[in-house]
Amino acid sequence: MSFNVTVLGSGAAIPTSNRNPSAHYVVCNDRYFLIDCGEGTQLQIRKYGLKIQKISHILISHLHGDHYFGLVGLLSTMHLLGRTQGVTVYAPAELKDTIMRQLEIGNAKLDFTVDFVPLQNTVPNNPIFEDKLLKVFAFPLKHRIPTWGFRIEEKEKERTLMINKALEDGLLREHFPKLKRNEIVKEKGKIFLPENYTLPPKQTRSYAYCSDTAFDSNLVEFVKNANLLYHEATFIEKEKIRAKQTFHSTAMEAAKIAQKSNVHKLLLGHFSARYESTVDHLVEAKIEFENVICAEDGLRIEI
Ligand SMILES: [Zn+2]
């Protein structure tokens, strides 16, 4: 089952000719998420050949415009394309009025429901969304206004059945689910141990998203062991004072979080428009954490 992230926008507040504002398109086990929705996100979705109508959950980290100005346009296009299936938007509570007011002014009615779930009510260890395959968590970041990070993670998987061996030994198919759940099967006085008929489950995977935030070691517990960590790196160390003043991070600070969190791979993004290249971001991040890459619009990463 596929788990991948496509970066739709890798820039900070001011868009440039090659960097849109924040948005990540995440596919996890056939579930489709959009994280943040900066201006122009729907155009990026089209440009990179992704499916607009598949998106069922939209996660908005905070209400700085470069993280949500694209939302009303995206919802409107979903409607024009004939959508009837509802969308759930997890966001700061104030977003609901903003979006509904924009639609009302133009007398626009959507043919689908938009459920707004306020992030203010969430507790970091309780999932904001859960189904049989995955869980999504929200956790607080350290920014100028209330801001949340997100973690999408697969649930514990079942063991893989060795069907031929099970059939050869006379096990009935009705017992297969039990073996996959690592339970012992008793049949006609015989005992069948799951470890003899199944292989260990595939490892669960997770993706953690942190934008925008100042350096905050409290994040470690929320993102630890993630296969992929996205962490903003608006600045480099040369602009460390500016980073502190604006509650953003430097590439080195992002890498420190990755290092402390034991994540597998670090993805940097939200680059200030002042940088023409991200070479310096990469060089200083690698001092702290080796497995790091810089986001580009359109970059797709398999987790
Ligand atoms: Zn911000």
232 - beta bridge partners?
269
3-state class (DSSP) for residue 276: coil
**What ranges in the chain are assigned the alpha helix state H?**
41-47, 71-80, 95-105, 163-168, 176-180, 194-197, 220-223, 240-246, 251-261, 279-288
What pLDDT is attached to residue 188? 81
Instruction: Indicate the pairing of strand 206-210 with strand 228-232.
Output: parallel
**Residue partners of 241: CB distance under 8 A and separation at least 6:** none
| Half-sphere CA count of 266, side-chain side, radius 13 A | 28
Query: Rounded to the nearest whole angstrom, what is the distance from the C-alpha of residue 62 to the centroid of ligand 1?
Result: 7
3-state class (DSSP) for residue 31: strand
* Domain ranges within the chain, ordered by starting residue: 3-157+202-302, 160-199
Kindly list the strands in the beta sheet with 129-130, ordered across the sheet, starting from the edge strand earlier in the chain.
129-130, 134-140, 148-154, 206-210, 228-232, 265-269, 292-294
DSSP state of 11: B
Q: Which of 30, 36, 66, 111 is catalytic?
A: 66
DSSP state of 52: S
Query: Rounded to the nearest whole angstrom, what is the distance from the C-alpha of residue 248 to the centroid of ligand 1?
Result: 8
What pLDDT is attached to residue 1? 85
Instruction: Indicate the pairing of strand 265-269 with strand 228-232.
Output: parallel
pLDDT digit of tens for each residue in the chain (303 aa)?
899 999 999 999 999 999 999 999 999 999 999 999 999 999 999 999 999 999 999 999 999 999 999 999 999 999 999 999 999 999 999 999 999 999 999 999 999 999 999 999 889 889 999 999 999 999 999 999 999 999 999 998 889 999 999 999 989 999 999 999 999 999 888 899 999 999 998 889 999 999 899 999 999 999 999 999 999 999 999 999 999 999 999 999 999 999 999 999 999 999 999 999 999 999 999 999 999 999 999 999 999
3-state class (DSSP) for residue 208: strand
What pLDDT is attached to residue 153? 97
- The class (CATH top level) of 3-157+202-302 is alpha beta
Euclidean distance between CA atoms 21 and 145, whole angstroms: 18
- Using only C-alpha atoms, what is the Rg of the chain? 22
Query: Rounded to the nearest whole angstrom, what is the distance from the C-alpha of residue 88 to the centroid of ligand 1?
Result: 22
∠ CA 287-270-53 to the nearest 5 degrees? 130
Query: Rounded to the nearest whole angstrom, what is the distance from the C-alpha of residue 119 to the centroid of ligand 1?
Result: 16
66 in active site: yes
Query: Rounded to the nearest whole angstrom, what is the distance from the C-alpha of residue 64 to the centroid of ligand 1?
Result: 5
What pLDDT is attached to residue 299? 98
Query: Rounded to the nearest whole angstrom, what is the distance from the C-alpha of residue 52 to the centroid of ligand 1?
Result: 25
Neighbours of ion ligand 1 (CB under 5 A): 64, 212
What pLDDT is attached to residue 202? 87
Query: Rounded to the nearest whole angstrom, what is the distance from the C-alpha of residue 3 to the centroid of ligand 1?
Result: 27
